[in-house]
A and B are shown apart, each in its own frame.
Chain A
Amino acid sequence: MARSNEVNLNECKMVVPLNTWVLISNFKLAYNLLRRPDGTFNRHLAEFLDRKVPANANPVDGVFSFDVLIDRGTSLLSRIYRPATAEEPQPNVAELEKPVTAEVVPVIIFFHGGSFAHSSANSAIYDTLCRRLVGLCKAVVLSVNYRRAPENRYPCAYDDGWTALKWVNSRPWLQSQKDSKVHIYLAGDSSGGNIVHHVALRAMESGTHVLGNILLNPMFGGQERTESEQRLDGKYFVTLRDRDWYWRAYLPEGEDRDHHACNPFGPNGRSLEGIKFPKSLVVVAGLDLIQDWQLAYVEGLKKADQEVKLLYMEQATIGFYLLPNNNHFHTVMDEISKFVGSDC
């Protein structure tokens, strides 16, 4: 085992910048300490180690943020990010929910990653990412602090996503001037990407219009062991063992990875043929061991005649979008901007 680790560590080091390697390796090792073999999770230590940042109603680099309580019953918090306008350098509490003024304002509902168990809306890495999305897409971003596994299994995360979507859709102050409707996009990375798909499904079923889905390295899986999983197991920060642990923690007890939450186009999935699903932008990292499942997802959408664009970043590892220090990052950000900007 030590021998293959040598090789793994060396390859890994060659493809990411040093500070990215340090960041992701730190997460990897810290997360190893938090998962217990019996399926429980050291939540206290996880929260202690997670680097968080408070909301900031004073604009920083043109973006300000504030937290809202969307659902009292489940303590569902979300953090809202808005672009600062020139006139109000320091918004006071009554102005935070001032109506958006442009003809079209995209509202991106963002679901952070963490394999359903880690991170929060106020984790530093995700606060940074959401702030970027505001400037990039001239959008309002709402980052959902969904309930996490293993304390809260399927379908809690999807329920929270759906609650947030309904809330956003019913805010008059988020309506674009052009048609007095809220222009909603769903976005997420890792488990967040998975949540995007399932929340979009619910939206569709209830006739709520979602303009587009953005899935960054979305977390999907299945019972079968695919070629990419075997080839890349342990090579680039992620192991099959940890993937299995997180699915066991999220899926209902006794279910396997062909459950439709994990494998939406698998044996227990549902076909989207004949259904008006939002257009999708799916980003797949070429060094992500679950890419076969992500590519199968794209295929599933195509087979159902749904609009989907695949961005396959060959030399990218997980988390490449967290630090703006590589080419993949900039490519993906450009594509996201185009994707959101194309509805006017």
Chain B
Amino acid sequence: MVLYDSATLAGSSSGSSSSSSSKPPPLQPEQRQDIDGHLAGAGYKVRSSELRKVAQRLERLETAMVNSPADLSQLASDTIHYNPSDLASWVDSLLSEFPLTPTCPAEFVTDPVTNQTVVNDAWTTTETNMLLVPQNVSYEQQNLNNQLTVVTAMEEDSGIRLVHMLMTCAECVQCGDFSLATSFLEDMQGLLTRVNTVCGIGKVAGHFIDALSRRIFQGIGGGSINGGSAYENEILYHHFYEACPYLKFAHFTANQAILEAFDGHDCVHVVDFNLMHGLQWPALIQALALRPGGPPLLRLTGIGPPSPDGRDSLREVGLRLAELARSVNVRFAFRGVAASRLEDVKPWMLQVNPKESVAVNSIMQLHRLLGSDPNRNAPIETVLNWIRSLNPKIMTVVEQEANHNQPGFLYRFTEALHYYSTMFDSLEACTVQPNKALAEIYIQREITNVVSCEGSARVERHEPLAKWRIRLTGAGFRPLHLGSNAYKQASMLLTLFSAEGYSVEENDGYLTLGWHSRPLIAASAWQAVSDAPSEFPVPDTHRLS
């Protein structure tokens, strides 16, 4: 069961059509004010006008649970739960798991005066007796507050001084005072010798000092860092994949959502925005093979950079995946699309057949399309438009949960310092070499790009999911909720890691994975809002191979 995220739709195009009448209409702004403030503070969205109805449903649910012969805990495991904040829907979805219960006798009584059956509303009498303190906390207020999240406590004095200096140096850079910044750099190099650089703040500080040096002495064009070969990048990516759970989480969660979206469809087509070694796909192929009713015909289109030395690495990956698919009896076809930048890809290259169900999968790619020039149309809009024109059954989006695209340098620097400290901290939990060392280099490249590059050279333009939601709903997408199944998969993935400290959280239908309480990566799923015929008809000239 898929629910509208009504809060984000309010304010955008009114009258978005919904094909199923069971979905609640999107809340208009006035209606949002009606949310019970106290329950909002507890994390639940319930309209004051619906409180009584929700209460009655809860009563009914309790009766159903008491009278049910089934093992409740088994039922809880088998049901997929969505968006627990929307209490009314959650209760209803649970109620639907029980056979129709006769109406609870306590709800209806015969009015002694009129002899009619009326709803026994015990709350009407008590409301006047209860002291109701006016609600002064609005849900919107809590949602819109800027959040600066910090995790680790720094115990060493030198550690704190190092942070102070990093910030001050960054401030100098922002003001253009490079000579003062340089003297800070020297001081910091000195301090580094007194701080433990194997872990904690010392380790990540070193990378930030390097990035600042690069910016000051080599300028903001990126230079050699961005010139790393595709092959190198793939190796580093692979080690990052092995060393910590972030990419695995991305793959597991996206695959679960795609699997659920493809339920009941026989011709499916996955478009992967960044194929790499295709690490995500064996699991999906195997899950499809085990699908009750049999696997669909699966097409995979993998996008990746062209290989320089005459190799066709995309095709090699495709061949390996085809072999796997063959071994589990899944009809499979692969197509590689070589492009050095995602914005160079045109929809016709993907050869989407209108009869197939399409899943678009973007793992940390969309942020690269956020151009810095406010006068040009950012490539993101073009790409989102053509994605929408494909009318995908689902678009899975995983992005770094970070605010690294603000124009102010100091703000960006500070955010990155927090974010990458946390990420490095989480890497400490990994002891396997050389995964860890190479994974660190992978992360270091991101840091360098965020801190020392500008303009088109800066591609690591991470934005938090809250911003992506606005952007995506504005572009005509609506969120699909990731449910408790995906959450459970993610949690189970984490228990495979001996490191305690990773945490998965559900929030309004999306999932985040973080270290301790700081989310570092966010996964969400989307579908195009189908209110109008697509503006870019897909050419219907190609058949499936």
Contacts and interface: CB of A to CB of B under 8 A. Distances in A.
A51 B492 contact: no
A29 B151 contact: no
B121 to A, nearest CB: 9
Contacts of A344: none
16 contacts: A13-B55, A15-B126, A18-B52, A18-B126, A22-B39, A33-B72, A42-B77, A48-B487, A51-B43, A54-B149, A60-B142, A66-B150, A68-B151, A68-B153, A69-B516, A125-B41
B148 A44 contact: no
Interface residues of A, number: 69
A56 B66 contact: no
B478 interface: no
Nearest to A326: B131
A226 B249 CA distance: 49
B51 A19 contact: yes
Contacts of B501: 75
Interface size class of B (residues with CB under 8 A): 35 or more
Contacts of A23: 38-39, 42, 44
B36 interface: yes
A92 B167 contact: yes
A44 B150 CA distance: 25
Nearest to A324: B133
B59 interface: yes
A18 B127 contact: yes
Contacts of B39: 19, 22-23
Nearest to A78: B153
B517 A67 contact: yes
Contact of A48 (B54, B58, B105, B488): B488
B530 interface: no
Interface of B: 36, 38-39, 41-44, 46, 51-52, 54-55, 58-59, 61-63, 65-67, 71-73, 75-77, 81, 84-85, 87, 91, 94, 104-106, 122-123, 125-127, 130-133, 142, 145-154, 160, 163-164, 167, 414, 417-418, 484, 487-488, 491-492, 500-501, 504-507, 516-519
Contacts of B147: 54, 56-58
A327 interface: yes
Nearest to B160: A94
A25 interface: yes
B63 A55 contact: no
Given A53-B142, A323-B42, 5 more contacts: A5-B62, A9-B106, A56-B148, A66-B150, A93-B154
Interface string A21-51: 1110110110011111100001111011101
A206 interface: no
B516 A75 contact: yes
A45 B484 contact: yes
A157 B150 CA distance: 25
Contact of B146 (A2, A6, A58, A125): A58
B506 A67 contact: no
B72 A17 contact: no
Contacts of B122: 10, 13-14
A122 B517 CA distance: 8
B131 A22 contact: no
Contacts of A77: 516-517
Interface of A: 1-2, 5-6, 9-10, 13-23, 25-26, 28-29, 32-37, 42-45, 47-49, 51-58, 60, 66-70, 74-75, 77, 79, 90, 92-94, 96-97, 122-125, 128, 322-327
Contacts of A5: 62-63, 66
Contact of B153 (A32, A97, A322): A97
Nearest to A67: B517
A68 B152 contact: yes
A35 B74 CA distance: 10
B491 A22 contact: no
Nearest to A59: B145
B163 A93 contact: yes
Contacts of A19: 36, 38-39, 46, 51
A18 B51 contact: yes
B450 to A, nearest CB: 17
A129 B67 CA distance: 35
Contacts of A60: 142, 145
Contacts of A97: 153
Contacts of A124: 41-43
Nearest to A33: B76
Nearest to A35: B73
A325 B152 contact: no
A307 to B, nearest CB: 31
A45 B76 contact: yes
A57 B203 CA distance: 24
Contacts of B154: 93
A54 B152 CA distance: 14
A5 B105 CA distance: 10
B500 A67 contact: no
A17 B130 contact: yes
Given A48-B488, A67-B150, A94 B58 contact: no
